[in-house]
Structure 1
Amino acid sequence: MKTVRAVLAATLVLTTACGTTTSTSSGGCPNNGHVRFGVEPYEDPARLKPAYEVLAKALTRKLGCEVELQIVDDYAAEVLAMRNGKLELAEFGPLGYVFASQKAKAEPLVSFADGTGKLTSYTAGIWVAKDSPVQKIEDLRGKSLALSSVGSASGDALPRYGLKKHGVADVKLDYAGGHPEAMLALINGKVDAAEINSQQLATAKSAGTFDEAKFRQIWKSEPIPNDPITVRGDLDASFKDRVRKALLELETADVEKVGAFLDVTPPGPLVRVDNDTYKVLFDLATTLGLKEEDV
């Protein structure tokens, strides 16, 4: 399990500047014209950064504030940064958002839609090698299972929920540190099974790093609504409205590189979401008795 550390990547200051600085009370730009936007490293940060730079630059133009992109270390670091007033905007995984809303006053603004404008979702999954004797989730008793990282919806909570629902208790859980790392543990034969969500599966197949013919999926979750982009709740209401409006006005081309990591096919615009969108994750946290330290 990773410990909470400071922001991993240096802050990227985009070149499009804001005009005369105004306070957030008038709906202007906070922090002398700067809006800090945090993103969790659900994929290799070196791959995520260029995609999110495109989104951040487009938001800079729409919002009129200088948007600074920060790739944080993990879910907990992102929640902590927003709670301490170090982030105005943040994209959380769905389960990470549950705790961010409770502990950091995060409010959901938008998420990712397909080409028809419909909110997209993804699924958690558990995979084994094709020649494994494990045929169903119940067969994992006494076996090892690679999970992503503590606090991930598809990489931690949902697979554990699946095990609990099927009465499977004696499984050795191995937190690999991320979705790619969990997949790699299975590919390299380090574990008997691994969580692989539909987003990671699509990315790895596209990159040629996962041969689906050599593996089998033995369990799949119900659909999970895609990641919300959130705003810190204690900011001025008029500023929050401006941010949502700017995000909703972004072109598909501004967000499709990010959408590719989230298995958004075909790509579409951002669409409005609210707390009700993520009720299934609030319910999941309650069922599993998850607490902030679990993220």
Structure 2
Amino acid sequence: MLKRFAILALLTVLLGATAAQAQDDCANRGTLDKQYCDADKNLVADAPKAGKCQDPGTLVFTYAPVEDPAVYKDLFADFQEYLSKATGKKVVYYSVQSNAAEVEAMRSGRLHIAGFSTGPTCFAVNLAGYVPIAVKGYEKEFQGYNLIMVVKKDSPYQKLEDLKGKKIAHTSASSNSGNMAPRALFPKLGLVPDKDYTVVYSGKHDQSVLGVVHGDYDAAPVASDVYDRMVKAGRVDKDALRIIYRSATFPTSSFGYWSQLCPDLAKKIQDAFNSYRFTEAMKKNFDGADRFYPVTYQKDWAVIREINDAEGVTYTEEGMRKEEEKEAAAKKK
């Protein structure tokens, strides 16, 4: 019996040493979750070591839950077919109802290719091992968007400071233009969220816009591209609202893949994004963008990380939970 316990103790020590060695094998992790490594210091997870990569029989794809998910399932059908031919695998669409759910789906390995909204891209990179490789764009540049503050056209509000004491709809806690950017940028312009005005969370950009139109909110910070699409689609009368603030340009939703996919599969996915050209329906819906324009998280998300740093955001499970808790608490008000 003593010999058996001695063997078990030795195995425990050896396993502990192996785990410690595995941790030491990562020369640099940065802000990535402990299951990922960033040896080349490009801020995204490295590909897994030989024999550890994932090669799923069916690839799962989704787009950020910015508006009605069903619309995008149909819109990306042609691209899914293109991905299928490029990878030799079946590609299915998985509808998600929240940014957190999308991050968790990739973190758990149930989601392999995705489009993440600008703000949640940072959480996806650090928590889920997501590798952004593209945004919607044109031949020479990517498509950007602005944070805009919309108010009813017949309202008396002309500048941000006029909104003190009012009820303003943010979208969701992890949204860049719908929450993080306003909290980082507005204080410098004389308007502090939660202090100078009451923040309520609508859940989505289109719901914020429609809430202002219907008088539920006095104003709303939203993504300009979502607002422009709503106007073009006739969901909002262009004369119903006014824009009283417009920020500098941010990148739109990112597209990319799960870092744990086998390198040869990841390359096929990246090549597909680079060579695909949008259908007429996609061009119409995405404001004339005709392709996926290549980007890197390190360079093109620098301004977003700066905003997050100003907000004290941490890309951890606890950090994500705090953002969700803030949103849930705000919805109860």
TM range (shorter): 0.7 to 0.9
Which 10-residue stretch deviates more, 155-164 or 135-144? 155-164
* 1:268 and 2:290 correspond: yes
Which residue pairs with 2:21 in the alignment? none
1:29 positional shift: 8.3
2:165 is the alignment partner of 1:142: yes
Aligned to 2:209: 183
Which residue of the partner structure matches residue 9 of structure 1? none
Determine whether 1:108 maps to 2:136. no
In 2: Cα distance, 1:246 partner to 1:209 partner:
33
| Bigger Cα Rg | 2
**1:88 and 2:112 correspond:** yes
Measure, in 2, the Cα distance between the counterparts of 1:286 and 1:196. 20
Superposed displacement of residue 185, structure 1: 0.6
1:110-151 Cα shifts (integer Å, max 9, x gaps): 22112x342110111111112212110111110111122221
* Mapped contact 1:29–1:239 kept (Cα < 8 A): no
Contact 1:37 1:87 in 2 (8 A): yes
Moved more, 87-96 or 38-47: 38-47
For residue 72 of structure 1, what is the aligned residue in structure 2? Answer: 96
Q: Which sits farther off after the overlay, 193-202 or 118-127?
A: 193-202
Match in the other structure for 1:30: 55
Counterpart for residue 188 of structure 2: 165
Q: Does 1:192 align with 2:218?
A: yes
- Checking the alignment, whether the CA contact within 8 Å between 2:54 and 2:261 is kept in structure 1 is no
Match of 1:229 in 2: 255
SS at match of 1:168: coil
- Whole-Å separation in 2 of the counterparts to 1:153 and 1:262: 19
Contact 1:110–1:272 (CA under 8 A) maintained in structure 2: yes
- Letter in structure 2 aligned against 1:180: D
CA shift for structure 1 position 259? 5.0
Structure 1 distance, partners of 2:291, 2:286, is 13
CA shift at 1:271, angstroms? 2.0
User: Within 2, Cα distance between the matches of 1:35 and 1:139?
Assistant: 49
2:177 to 137, 144, 154: 154
Q: Any gaps of 5 or more consecutive residues in structure 1?
A: 1-23
2:55 maps to a residue whose letter is P
Q: For residue 281 of structure 1, what is the aligned residue in structure 2?
A: 304
CA drift of 1:69 comes to: 1.0
Residues 1:63 and 2:87 aligned together: yes
The answer to whether the 8 Å contact 2:166/2:198 transfers is: yes
Correspondence for 1:247: 273
Measured after TM superposition, the shift of residue 227 of structure 1 is 1.4
Preserved contact between residue 125 and residue 219 of structure 1 (Cα < 8 Å)? yes
Runs of 5+ consecutive residues of structure 2 not aligned to the other structure: 1-48, 314-318, 325-333
- Taking structure 2 as the reference length, the TM-score comes to 0.74
Q: Measured at CA, do residues 93 and 109 of structure 1 come closer, stay the same or move farther in structure 2, by a change above 3 Å? A: same
TM-score (norm 1): 0.83
2-side partners of 1:137 and 1:181: how far apart?
Answer: 21
Q: Is the alpha carbon distance of 1:259 and 1:101 closer, same or farther for their aligned partners in structure 2, counting shifts above 3 Å?
A: farther
Q: Distance in 2 between matches of 1:109 and 1:243?
A: 10
TM-align CA RMSD: 2.1
Asked if 1:121 is matched to 2:147, the reply is no
Tell me what 1:132 maps to.
155
- Do 1:126 and 1:159's aligned partners in 2 also have CA atoms closer than 8 Å? no
How far apart are 1:245 and its partner, in Å? Answer: 0.7
Instruction: State yes or no: 1:202 paired with 2:202.
Output: no
Other structure's SS at 1:210 match: coil
Distance in 1 of aligned mates of 2:286 and 2:306: 23
Whole-angstrom distance in 2 between the partners of 1:126 and 1:134 = 11
